[in-house]
Amino acid sequence: MWRLVEKTADRLTLRIDYPSEEAIESLERTIEVDPEAPALIVSLTVHARRDVVLPFALHPTFAIPDEGVEVLACPYQMVHSYPVSPESGISRSLPNHAFASLKEIATATGPMDVTRLPLLDKTEELLQIAGCRPPFVLRYSTQQADVLLDWNPEELPDALLWISNGGRAYEPWSGRNVALGVEPAQSFFDLGRVVMPPADHPLAGRTGLAFRAGVSRTVSYRLSARSV
């Protein structure tokens, strides 16, 4: 369980301790207000008991209002679909494919444009944007605002997209969850501790971040808004 470490008017720190047999001793997450801008700075500090390389991703999730959001995204190299269907019989993207554009994700019935959400059909999609250069930008036209997600791409070179478009009928989503997860990552999707891709796969080098025993490592991201 996470426990409260510090709480002030503009800063919140939480901590979680791992069992003694784990390589990771603890995590500390701090959320603080940027006093100079409409922004939040979120950091995660990892304390390791022993040297280890682990797949690593952050998981901010954004609302998709009924009136929609435009995914301006980021400059990137390629988009990869999940190795298998994320939700059997529901997900539409062809598994284990690479695409040059988020506007043309191949499906059994033709290309799917995921730059304007929500989508017309219920689905759940997991896509990995290789070489994503932040900031990742979402445009909320009705609110006349852009929301920007920024991080260090030297640490986390990709962005995983979780497009939840009412496709999970079971609890707790119950067919009602419509949201977009944008996850800065150094990993092979969410599978780094389960399976590894073949050596010739474009994402084969996404093995994770290195943590050293007794040396804390902090990874941060920034959420901000601007008028458009």
Rounded Cα–Cα distance for residues 170 and 88 (Å): 13
What local confidence, expressed as pLDDT, does residue 196 receive? Answer: 85
Q: Please check whether residue 156 lies inside any domain of the structure.
A: yes
Residue numbers of the domain that contains 144: 53-209
CA torsion 46-197-82-26 (nearest 10°) is -10
What local confidence, expressed as pLDDT, does residue 62 receive? Answer: 98
Q: Please check whether residue 165 lies inside any domain of the structure.
A: yes
Q: Please check whether residue 198 lies inside any domain of the structure.
A: yes
Rounded Cα–Cα distance for residues 55 and 206 (Å): 8
What local confidence, expressed as pLDDT, does residue 97 receive? Answer: 96
CA torsion 180-181-187-192 (nearest 10°) is -100
Q: Please check whether residue 109 lies inside any domain of the structure.
A: yes
Q: Please check whether residue 147 lies inside any domain of the structure.
A: yes
How would you write the pLDDT of the chain (228 residues) with one tens digit per residue?
899 999 999 999 999 999 999 999 999 999 999 999 999 999 999 999 999 999 999 999 999 999 999 999 999 999 999 999 999 999 999 999 999 999 999 999 999 999 999 999 999 999 999 999 999 999 999 999 999 999 999 999 999 999 999 999 999 999 999 999 999 999 999 998 788 889 999 999 999 999 999 999 999 999 999 999
Q: Please check whether residue 39 lies inside any domain of the structure.
A: no
Residue of 138, 147, 184 whose CA lies nearest to 37: 147
Q: Please check whether residue 227 lies inside any domain of the structure.
A: no
Q: How many domains does the chain have?
A: 1
Rounded Cα–Cα distance for residues 77 and 73 (Å): 12
Strands 69-73 and 3-7: unpaired
Q: Please check whether residue 75 lies inside any domain of the structure.
A: yes
Rounded Cα–Cα distance for residues 141 and 49 (Å): 47
What local confidence, expressed as pLDDT, does residue 83 receive? Answer: 94
The single residue listed with the structure tokens 């969850």 is 177
**Contact (Cβ atoms closer than 8 angstroms) between residue 23 and residue 55:** no
What local confidence, expressed as pLDDT, does residue 174 receive? Answer: 92
| Residues paired with residue 179 on neighbouring β-strands, in sequence order | 63, 164
What local confidence, expressed as pLDDT, does residue 194 receive? Answer: 86
Query: Would you call the peptide bond into 55 cis, given omega within 30 degrees of 0 as the criterion?
Result: no
Rounded Cα–Cα distance for residues 146 and 73 (Å): 11
